[in-house]
Amino acid sequence: MKQITKETEPQELQNWKAKENADWKPTYDDLRGTEKQAVKRALMVEQGFLCCYCERRLTEEDSHIEHFRPQNDPLCDPLDYGNLLCSCQNKIPKGHPRHCGNLKNDWFDEVLLISPLSADCEERFRFTGDGMIYPVSSDDDGAKNTICKIGLDIPKLNDLRKNAIAPFVDETLDEADFKSFVAGYLAQDADGRFGEFWMTIRYLFPMREN
């Protein structure tokens, strides 16, 4: 899980909320059109176009705005940009497994759900060369429950991580080329995109990213 640094909410959202008056109070259900598109785009950009949970590539078609603290939580302002993330999966084809925000749904626990906004989120998961994900510490109930509740260890994601790892075990690369390859993968590209499963690659090749 890659840490996300929140930015200021987009101007379109600020302007829309500022239209509140005696006859109208903005709600999340009212958020649509240009304003909602601007929010989603801003979330995707600040996440480097990676899902907030599994780090798959985000696309406009296969993603949705995610409330980290559920909208039905009385402590949640559904329009608080600081609580909004972008998760993969929008409309899920029949037979495809749910994961990330769609599987999490309205589940929330202050202790047992690790936030991608948390400073230590990157240090609580480990990865193996076959694409598996585990808690770094065997007694980390938060990491265990996060993996389970958002499906980070489902076969689909394990296979995708394994495929992402495969190019890095190419034995034809010499040390210099390998370091360059890893460094390039971990850097944002010209469009601000990070490589998929960024944390997996950084974890498995920590000494070779510089």
pLDDT tens digits along 33-83: 999 999 999 999 999 999 999 999 999 999 999 999 999 998 899 999 999
Q: From CA 161, how far away is CA 55, in angstroms rounded? A: 10
Amino acid identity, residue 48? Answer: G
User: Whole-model pTM?
Assistant: 0.93
Q: Where are the alpha helices (DSSP H) in 18-117?
A: 33-46, 100-104
DSSP H or E segment with residue 184: helix 175-186
Whether 210 has a pLDDT exceeding 60, the answer reads no
- At 129-163, the pLDDT tens digits run 999 999 999 999 999 999 999 999 999 999 999 99
Task: Give Cα separations from 187 to 26, 156, 181, 210 (angstroms).
Answer: 38, 25, 10, 10
- Reference 50, options 36, 66, 33; nearest CA is 66
